[in-house]
Amino acid sequence: MTRLSGLLLVCTGLAGVIALEISGAPSEDVAPPQTRTATAIARTPQPTTNRTRDWVATVLARPLFSPDRRPAADAASVAGSSLPGLPRLAGILVGPFGRSAIFAADGSKPIVVQEGGRVGAYTVRSIEMTQVRIVGPDGAQVLNPSFDQAPNKSATGALAPARRPGQAPLPR
């Protein structure tokens, strides 16, 4: 019975300590209330000016989907579809397996080329994370991936419905 009473005494003591901690009673090593209040006021961050209106004005001045949101292209950097005989650069793959550039040929399967490969009259010199350097009849060029400017349209002129891979085409 003495073990049980000792355990009960320890549990009661711990419950009392927890109750004091929760109630916020000051302990002996805490500064007096006057000093605590002064310290709390000194540590309170001073209110800064509200810059929300400035941020909103900046965002509205440069809409997210505006074509001119990207930095202006320099003379050596061109979109993938602007060179004659070269398909549009649709994507770049860089990883432990190697580096590849994906060119989207009109109406056919994409062309995947590694460094040193050829696309038409152009040779791929280097593939980086955001650009591909090529050499062709017009000299050295830098290509950036670009989106297809014309959406996929069916024969009726309406946007073609999306379908899952392996799904049969919809009847017309």
- pLDDT in 10s for each residue of the chain, 172 residues: 688 888 888 999 999 888 888 887 555 555 555 555 555 555 656 666 788 888 888 877 776 776 666 555 544 444 444 677 788 899 999 999 899 999 988 778 889 999 999 988 899 999 999 999 999 888 899 999 888 766 555 444 555 555 566 666 666 5
Which residues form the domain of 36? Answer: 2-41
* Residue 172 CB contacts under 8 Å (≥ 6 apart), including other chains: 154, 155
- Residue 80, pLDDT score: 43
- Provide DSSP, 147-171: --SS--B-TTSSBPPP--TTPPPPP
Domains held by the chain: number = 2
Residues 88 and 140 placed together within one structural domain of the fold: yes
- The answer to whether position 165 is within a domain reads no
Is the pTM of the predicted complex or chain greater than 0.85? no
- Per residue in 143-159, is it b (16+ CB within 10 Å) or e — as a string? bebbeeeeeeeeeeeee
- The answer to whether position 60 is within a domain reads no
- Residue 82, pLDDT score: 65
- The answer to whether position 96 is within a domain reads yes
Sign of torsion over alpha carbons 134, 137, 140, 145:
negative
- The answer to whether position 171 is within a domain reads no
Residues 35 and 81 placed together within one structural domain of the fold: no
Distance CA 97, CA 58 (A): 41
